[in-house]
Structure 1
């Protein structure tokens, strides 16, 4: 006997304390709510309402994983100033000195050049712009096809400087990366404007607008790469984008590397089969040979991009010389050892190179076939990967080409638009096919029936034909004995699940059920009442005995009326 909230002596479990452990399971809370509802008191009702509201509140979702990174450390103002200054000036000075050193090596090793320190430092200014892919003009002739290897070197230097600055400043959040990226971009943009202003009246000039935008863009991308891991930019991207999109980005990036590797392999094959021609293009002097080697190394990434465009199909053109797997137009070529890999005539096996981008498209599909159970979602991942591939290589093709004065070798072009379209075709079609048919497919759910199986009524048993030899009066008497309280007008209702009597006549009469809500006709009711009121063998004196129905016919007629 446990008292309830009002002190009654009704038996039952004691209610839980309102200050119970909130981490307890749901069962005690439900018991408390039930006690409060059955209590009938004001306190019990209030407690039940509180418990119900607490149970109705959704549980808070767990917080997404956030890269904690290193704990924030207090940074003094002087240390902050030194770190930001080093970030703004360091990459600029390092890049400029690197370009000046390369020019000094080339100028010092050349046989017919005059080397002066002032001349090298002045020439390094437009060289720094060229390393950031800013087109420059030499005596009014544009040099737009610029080497990509110095650009990659400056990107690496800027990324390392950005990572060191982020570590010194104690940055660890994605929003804090703006300080590093913005500082680097503004510093390079201002430096480009200054260099373009210094070279206005010189023989080598540059467009001030491009001198501001291109260095700022290149340095900003490099700084983003440098602080991506430190400030958790990659983790933030994974949290905001869905898993299929992230998988598509990864597959697209790997496919870009594979395509560039295929182009590089083709370039190596061309050089390996043209070693004698490459040796013939190397100058005789040691200094000239070093300069030619540095020039070839600087344009080596450009040649890889051109070879990749050849593998994809559009090919490239160098002045009047144009080459693609399906076409070839010969022409004059510069005497650079790197260009010895170019063919002298068309080969019949070149179209077989189309297998390479197709295989890479299949690889993309295989990497995305397990990205999601839904085939349509996997197609979205293939679309993301295809976009990454097409946009990246089209941008590289646009950067790697450009104007080359106004001579017979102008321009060096790699059709970016045609490359974009062909890469979409080569990678999207096989990738979508493999991702659609090669991945898991959701098990189709069975179509819901109109009625549940549990609610389906059992099939009605067939009504057995009455035995013609059975006595109809005896069968009617048995039915009246089975329903003694039915009165003079009895409605028979037989459960189909109840086992019937072995007598065929009893089965026939049991199947003739009269519905409780049925309204039989007045004549049928009257006739049925009179027939039930008579004793077996008794007849109405006013009726012809030959026209009187038998008891069995009366029962069957009443059953037909009930079914109607």
Structure 2
């Protein structure tokens, strides 16, 4: 059978794929930010629409979408919306994966080239934008404008080409099965906790729908569209805050503290999304702790058959708890930040406390369920209670062995009796006096 030969990719085609991977998400992301700003400016009642103004305003908007802190008139704005960041990372990852498919890239070298050009293009563009807007009303630290886009785009592109680069096989080959099961269970727990946070936010918005709806009709359709887009952009931040709330530490917005066991009310910005915040504390909030505990039970139930030994299952649970803690220390740290030094500064999600609390909510119930619900090794010897049926079977086997031993002993005694009688006859013969020889 003739082997199928794969034609090598032409250098020109490879260069085009690398250029698309580098510039595609960059230009598409900038165009999307400019389009949103143009739409809001065109609808707003008291604004002047100019193409140059929109394109200029989209430059710091692109940096903000990559979580680069903005300095507005000397005050830092670090609590930036996460939805544009998620969308741009998905775009960068999908573009990198598509480029790898087009040139049939395999291995760390070929896939690394795609990641490298993506990182280089975003880092160069971010640094250039930071230098261009220097001196205006919005200022950006050039170093932050350099490494934030580079880090996020590189992470997204690396995930996009992970299978083709062999990174997944390399990682799984150096981790045992118990750790892999714990990693999967930890990712499942992160998704479940975020879903619970989204449920809390949805419940708050539904119960305060009237207040949220009234904020959209304050200043015409342009303002309403801006409110809608701003609320949508901060929706992932609200989901992480909802998860921090059910975890226990909660979050704070300036002097306002929202937590199940520590509530301090006060005024909040007139944003429809913030209508979900409660106005008064409630005793039933303590029952919300059952939600992260249920996630821990789920983790334990998933890992109950991870290994025969209970200690190995405990190791998987610990890995899952570490994954949850690391994920939420990043998410909570990214969702909060400075709010330009205003009355609602800062938005603090207590990243360290939330990470520790969620790790404990997963580890403790998960360990208990995985220990008692999973299989146990059979222990030899009289340890603990003995099953009556097993004891009866053991007694029967012991009695059968005793009978066999007695039968063997009796057979050996019978076999020894003739030898003893022969010896006795010999002894009696030797005791008789010897007959004198004739002639003496």
Q: Which of 144, 151, 172 pairs up with 1:217?
A: 151
Q: How far does residue 236 in structure 1 lie from its aligned partner after superposition?
A: 3.7
Residue in 2 that maps onto 1:82: 16
Q: CA 1:227–1:176 in structure 2 vs 1: closer, same or farther (change >3 Å)?
A: same
Q: How many Å separate the matches in 2 of 1:92 and 1:328?
A: 43
Q: What SS does structure 2 have at the residue aligned with 1:403?
A: coil
The yes-or-no answer on 1:188 pairing with 2:122 is yes
Q: Secondary structure at the match of 1:309?
A: helix
Matched residue, 2:414: 500
Q: Shift in Å at residue 404 of structure 1?
A: 0.4
CA shift digits 1:149-178 (9 cap, x unpaired): 110110111111101110122113355321
**1:259/1:308 contact within 8 Å kept:** yes
| Residue among 427, 431, 437 paired with 1:534 | 431
The 3 A distance-change label for structure 1 pair 181 and 460 is closer
Residues of 2 paired with 1:399 and 1:226: CA distance? 22
Aligned equivalent of 1:380:
315
* Structure 2 SS opposite 1:113: coil
Is 1:118 the equivalent of 2:52?
A: yes
CA distance in 1, matches of 2:34, 2:405: 101
2:305 aligns to what? 370
CA distance in 2, matches of 1:71, 1:398: 50
Residue correspondence of structure 1 range 147-162 to structure 2 within 5 A: 147-162=81-96
Change in 2 beyond 3 A, CA 1:386/1:71 = farther
- TM superposition shift of 1:329: 0.3
CA distance in 1, matches of 2:22, 2:405: 91
**C-alpha distance in 1 between matches for 2:105 and 2:5:** 9
Partner of 2:351: 416
Give secondary structure in 2 for the equivalent of 1:329.
Answer: coil
1:244 and 1:371 in contact (8 A); partners too: yes
Supply the distance in 2 between the matched residues of 1:320 and 1:175 (Cα, whole angstroms): 51
Alignment of 1:189-268 (within 5 A): 189-268=123-202
Assess if the C-alpha contact under 8 Å between 1:72 and 1:172 holds in 2.
no
The TM-score normalised by the length of structure 2 is 0.87
Per residue, is there more helix in 1 or in 2? Answer: 2
Q: Which runs of 5+ in 1 are unaligned?
A: 1-69, 448-452, 462-494, 514-528, 537-564
Deviation at 1:71, TM superposition (A): 8.2
1:390 and 2:325 are equivalent in the alignment: yes
Task: Determine if contact 2:112/2:165 at 8 Å carries over to the other structure.
Answer: no
Structure-to-structure mapping, 1:345-360, within 5 angstroms: 345-360=280-295
User: Which of residues 98, 115, 137 in structure 1 aligns to 2:32?
Assistant: 98
CA contact (8 A) 1:383 1:428 kept: yes
1:496 deviates by 7.1
| Residue 330 (structure 1) aligned to one of 258, 262, 265 | 265
**Distance in 1, Cα, partners of 2:255 & 2:215:** 20
SS at match of 1:328: coil
CA–CA distance in structure 2, aligned partners of residues 185 and 210 of structure 1: 14
Normalised to the residue count of structure 1, the TM-score between the two structures is 0.68
Pick from 163, 167, 174: which aligns with 2:101?
167
Q: 1:109, 1:291 within 8 Å by CA — same for their partners in 2?
A: no
1:230 CA drift (Å): 4.0
Aligned equivalent of 1:276, options 202, 210, 214: 210
Q: 1:500 to 1:386 in 2, by over 3 A?
A: same
1:268-301 Cα shifts (integer Å, max 9, x gaps):
0011000111122222411111111111111011
Of the two structures, which has the highest relative contact order with CA contacts closer than 8 Å and spacing of 6 or more? 2
Greater Cα radius of gyration, structure 1 or 2 = 1
CA distance in 2, matches of 1:73, 1:244: 42
The Cα offsets for residues 306-350 of structure 1, whole Å up to 9 and x where unpaired, read as 011001111000001001010110111000011001011100100
Which segments of 5 or more consecutive residues in structure 2 lack a partner in the other structure? 383-397, 434-440
Corresponding residue for residue 395 of structure 2? none
> In structure 1, what is the Cα distance between the partners aligned to 2:5 and 2:98?
16
Distance of 1:375 and 1:76 partners within structure 2: 55
- 2-structure distance, mates of 1:460, 1:181: 77
Does structure 2 conserve the Cα–Cα contact (< 8 Å) formed by 1:73 and 1:170?
no
Q: Secondary structure at the match of 2:139?
A: strand
- The alpha-carbon distance between structure 1 residues 281 and 375, as it changes in their structure 2 partners (threshold 3 A), is same
What corresponds to 1:10 in structure 2? Answer: none
Quote the Cα distance in structure 1 between the aligned partners of 2:415 and 2:225: 114
Partner of 1:43: none
Q: Is residue 2:361 matched to residue 1:426?
A: yes
Shift of 1:508: 12
After superposition, the C-alpha distances for 1:363-419 in whole angstroms (9 at most, x for unaligned) are 101111111112111111111111111110111000000000111100000001111
- Give 1:188 deviation, angstroms: 1.0
The separation in 1 between residues aligned to 2:66 and 2:269, in whole angstroms, is: 24
Q: Which residue of 2 aligns with 1:14?
A: none
**Number of matched pairs:** 411
TM superposition shift of 1:232: 4.5
C-alpha deviation, 1:532, in angstroms? 7.6
Going from structure 1 to structure 2, the CA distance change for 1:124 and 1:348 (only over 3 Å counts) comes to same
Q: Matched residue of 2:314: which SS?
A: helix
Partner residue in 2 for 1:486: none
Match of residue 404, structure 1, among 329, 339, 342: 339
Over the residues paired in the alignment, what is the CA RMSD in angstroms?
A: 2.9
- Give distance in 2, aligned partners of 1:373 and 1:358: 24
How far off its partner does 1:444 sit? 3.2
